[in-house]
Structure 1
């Protein structure tokens, strides 16, 4: 008796669910934080020099953030996880291993 042919079930994965959240091609939170910092700089100092400096900082930092996002879209999360790691781990397989 021949076995029936079973087809595999397929599911669509929408691009919006698997893509990182970016704004202007860079990490959303970092772009918004940079924008907030430059706006604070401009409105606290209130000179033409501060406006020019704020625009220059905004363009430079967003350009650097875009290069960072192009290299690795999840770089900020990976760096934050790297910071949380302990400075050194013991070379044991388990914390309950006898030394």
Structure 2
């Protein structure tokens, strides 16, 4: 146990425990889903143009996802929570108020 000058106990918080889960600098789930969609596009159409288009789309989307993660690494979770809220809450003083 390391004690500081003030007599309080100090505990280390490792960075790996508090960092967001990113892959290639973007949200892990979104990177994997877009990669899967690009691979499906490439192998379903099976032409040279689909390979070029799939890779180009994937690179553009990864760039956008990286910019999103740089602004806020937890933006996907915040947006999902935001859309689950109701669009309008009634102004009430308490949950037991009668209408």
TM-score by length of 2: 0.91
Deviating runs (4+, > 4 A) in structure 1? none
* Aligned residue in 1 for 2:57: 57
- Distance in structure 2 (CA, Å) of the matches to 1:42 and 1:94: 56
Aligned residue in 2 for 1:86: 86
Please state how far the C-alpha of 1:97 moved relative to its aligned partner: 2.4
Higher Cα Rg: structure 1 or 2?
1
Deviation at 1:68? 0.2
**Where does 1:10-49 land on structure 2 (aligned, <5 Å)?**
10-49=10-49
What TM-score do the two structures reach when normalised by structure 1? 0.91
RMSD (Å), alpha carbons: 1.4
Cα deviation digits, residues 33-67 of structure 1 (max 9, x gap): 00000000000000000000000001000000000
More strand as a share of residues:
2
SS at match of 2:10: coil
Structure 1: which 5+ runs fail to align? none
Distance 1:56 1:75 in 2: 24
List gaps (5 residues or longer) in structure 2. none
Q: How many pairs does the alignment contain?
A: 95
